[in-house]
Amino acid sequence: MAADWLGSLVSINCGATLGVYQGEVSSVDQSSQTISLRQPFHNGVKCPVPEVTFSAMDIKELKVLDIGSSRGGVVQKSSAPVSVPHIGDHRTQERLASPQQQCSTSSGDKHLEVSGQPKGFRRRHNSWSSSSRGANQVTPKKNGGGGGGWGQRQHRDDECFGGNMDDSLDTDFDFEGNLALFDKAAVFSQIDGSDRHGNGARSRAMPQVQTSSQYRHNDNILETKPVGYRQILVPHPGDKEYCTDWGLVVPSISYELHKRLLSVAERHGLSLERRLEMTGVCASQMALTLLGGPNRLTPKNVHQRPTVALLCGPHVQGAQGISCGRHLANHEVEVILFLPNFVKVLDAVASELTLYSKTEGKRVSSIKELPDSPVDLIINCLDCHENTFLMDQPWYRAAADWANQNRAPVLSLDPPVSGQGHAVEAKWTLSLGLPLSLSEGAGRVYLCDIGVPRQVFQEVGIKYHSPFGCKFVVPLHSA
């Protein structure tokens, strides 16, 4: 009878000290009460020796895992857990299995079935045992799965993705039909009716706004009153009216009112020196913009410095031009100042010349010393409001002819009114405070803020509101 168990796979529990051994029965000696295992595994690890012999005194429990092929049949085993070796050749791993499985032979193929899971047992998913099996390893299947692996895969799909899915999901959604259920015109008509009568849910939740105007996306709906575009009123307006980019009306004034305004401002502390400095700063800022601004005046562009020619006379307008030339020279602009050697000039002109001489600007007193090639910009300060006889002087006519023949754009600074004419055709004109009635030869008119307070305007009878906004120089358009 002992020879009948040769070749069977058994598991021998030798207690906590020696551990559990598994292997193929190679010999059984009834006289000495010993049993030997071939290719043994000790606690799941293959032993280095080919055979191990056990005495009956050391065996605590012996379980048959697989009966030798010579006997056949099925043996019921205990459900107690036994370690299964995970190393060794494929032939041994095929024959060694856990005690929770049953062994049956049908048509020469082996199939393992799970007979039960004891407490503490945990199925391992996505492990080597299920995803990395060799070609000769068996694949466990569900109980009663007579169709091989297909039934197991179908069961897993049902567990992961759910069974008995709703077939209505295969039907395409009818967008057009659903949209037709919404009557947009009727809904908006109901909203408008509830707003008018005050009996709708919207009227109860929101305050009534009595307005009939329809606002555009760029309209300011928070304004409480219309904007007054005529915010400057003068007692005796000139012949022309201008407007800013925002539509604010700026009327022209006569030279008499302009002179009175400056006189009152000087009495309140706005001296001629302050006005000259303010005019020079604003005029130079406008000239720098006309020369290209940051696109040209950069530290990396020192080899292409712009050239500006200043044509000045011995009057206040000439002093304003000299102040502008000083600021331009401070901004790395090549300035050429033309001013004849007069016997007597104003104190303001002499003071501005002293400051200008401290810069790198150049001064010439003859037309022959002006460049023959075109310059970048000409600033005309030849004309005077009060002394019109200067236009008959030879130096004036020579300077005007040079400016008209140089083919450079001209910026006229504070020119006289249109009745006196202009010897130099300007492209731009800069007026101070409020514009005068200028002729068409003045070009495009700009307005400069020289710092006259509002109360000074009111003292001379002008209702004034600043049209400059955030700037000191604004363009004016013919109204």
In whole angstroms, give the CA distance from residue 388 to residue 390: 5
Pull the structure tokens for residue 115: 């007979």
Residues 255, 106, single domain; the answer is no
pLDDT per position as a tens digit, 79-96: 343 343 333 343 333 333
Residues 430, 282, single domain; the answer is yes
Of the residues 144, 159, 174, the one at which a domain ends: 159
In a domain, 154, yes or no: yes
HEC profile of 132-192: CCCCCCCCCECCCCCCCHHHHHHHHHHHHHCCCCCHHHHCCCCHHHHHHCCCHHHHHHHHH
pLDDT at 113: 36
Residue 320 pLDDT > 60, yes or no? yes
In a domain, 18, yes or no: yes
* Minimum mean pLDDT range among 23-32, 246-255, 273-282: 23-32
In a domain, 119, yes or no: yes
pLDDT at 295: 84
pLDDT at 439: 80
Residues 19, 120, single domain; the answer is yes
243 neighbors 249 (Cβ within 8 angstroms)? yes
Of the residues 159, 190, 208, the one at which a domain ends: 159
pLDDT at 448: 95
Give the pLDDT mean for 238-266.
92
Q: Which of 191-205, 229-243, 247-261 has the highest mean pLDDT?
A: 247-261
Q: How many structural domains compose the chain?
A: 2
pLDDT at 213: 60
Looking at the chain, the whole-number percentage of residues with pLDDT higher than 70 is 70
CATH number for position 426: 3.40.50.10260
Give the pLDDT mean for 123-142.
43
Q: Which of 108-122, 129-143, 450-464 has the highest mean pLDDT?
A: 450-464
In whole angstroms, give the CA distance from residue 352 to residue 225: 48
Handedness of CA 290, 293, 299, 303 (dihedral sign): negative
Residues 291, 417, single domain; the answer is yes
Q: Return the axis-axis angle of helices 272-290 and 316-330, rounded to nearest 10°.
A: 50
In a domain, 48, yes or no: yes
pLDDT at 106: 36
Handedness of CA 161, 164, 167, 169 (dihedral sign): negative
In whole angstroms, give the CA distance from residue 116 to residue 95: 20
Residue 50 pLDDT > 60, yes or no? yes
Position 152 confidence tier, pLDDT thresholds 50, 70, 90: low
Residues 250, 146, single domain; the answer is no
pLDDT per position as a tens digit, 372-411: 999 999 999 999 888 777 888 999 999 999 999 998 999 9
Please name the amino acid found at residue 229.
Y
What is the CB neighbour count within 10 angstroms for residue 355?
13
Residue 271 pLDDT > 70, yes or no? yes
Give the pLDDT mean for 176-186.
81
In whole angstroms, give the CA distance from residue 229 to residue 243: 9
Residues 327, 459, single domain; the answer is yes
Residue 73 pLDDT > 60, yes or no? no
Name the β-bridge partners of 178. none
In whole angstroms, give the CA distance from residue 98 to residue 120: 15
Of the residues 103, 129, 159, the one at which a domain ends: 159
In a domain, 455, yes or no: yes
pLDDT at 441: 78
Residue 415 pLDDT > 60, yes or no? yes
In whole angstroms, give the CA distance from residue 413 to residue 287: 11
Better pLDDT: 471 or 116: 471
Residues 145, 253, single domain; the answer is no
The two beta strands, 101-106 and 61-66, are unpaired
* Minimum mean pLDDT range among 193-207, 235-249, 429-443: 193-207
Residues 275, 383, single domain; the answer is yes
Mean pLDDT of the chain: 78
Residues 252, 136, single domain; the answer is no
pLDDT at 206: 45
Residue 301 pLDDT > 80, yes or no? no
Residues 253, 151, single domain; the answer is no
Better pLDDT: 266 or 221: 266
pLDDT at 221: 63
In a domain, 123, yes or no: yes
Residues 144, 260, single domain; the answer is no
Position 181 confidence tier, pLDDT thresholds 50, 70, 90: confident
Give the pLDDT mean for 350-371.
94
Give the pLDDT mean for 229-247.
89
In a domain, 66, yes or no: yes
CATH number for position 131: 2.30.30.100
Position 462 confidence tier, pLDDT thresholds 50, 70, 90: very high
What is the CB neighbour count within 10 angstroms for residue 83?
16
For 41, the 3-state DSSP assignment is: strand
Better pLDDT: 145 or 282: 282
Pull the structure tokens for residue 312: 């000045």
* CA distances, 276 to each of 117, 338, 437 (Å): 104, 18, 22
In whole angstroms, give the CA distance from residue 406 to residue 375: 7
Please classify residue 420 by burial: count the beta carbons closer than 10 Å to its beta carbon, then call 0-12 exposed, 13-18 middle and 19+ buried.
middle
pLDDT at 423: 83
pLDDT at 137: 43
pLDDT at 169: 59
Domain region containing 64 = 2-159
In whole angstroms, give the CA distance from residue 426 to residue 446: 12
Torsion angle of C-alpha atoms 361, 366, 370, 372, degrees rounded to 10: -170
Give the pLDDT mean for 273-277.
96
Torsion angle of C-alpha atoms 249, 254, 257, 258, degrees rounded to 10: 80
In a domain, 165, yes or no: no
Residues 404, 279, single domain; the answer is yes
Q: Return the axis-axis angle of helices 347-356 and 316-330, rounded to nearest 10°.
A: 10
* CA distances, 131 to each of 134, 135, 140, 143, 203 (Å): 9, 12, 12, 20, 67
Give the pLDDT mean for 143-168.
58
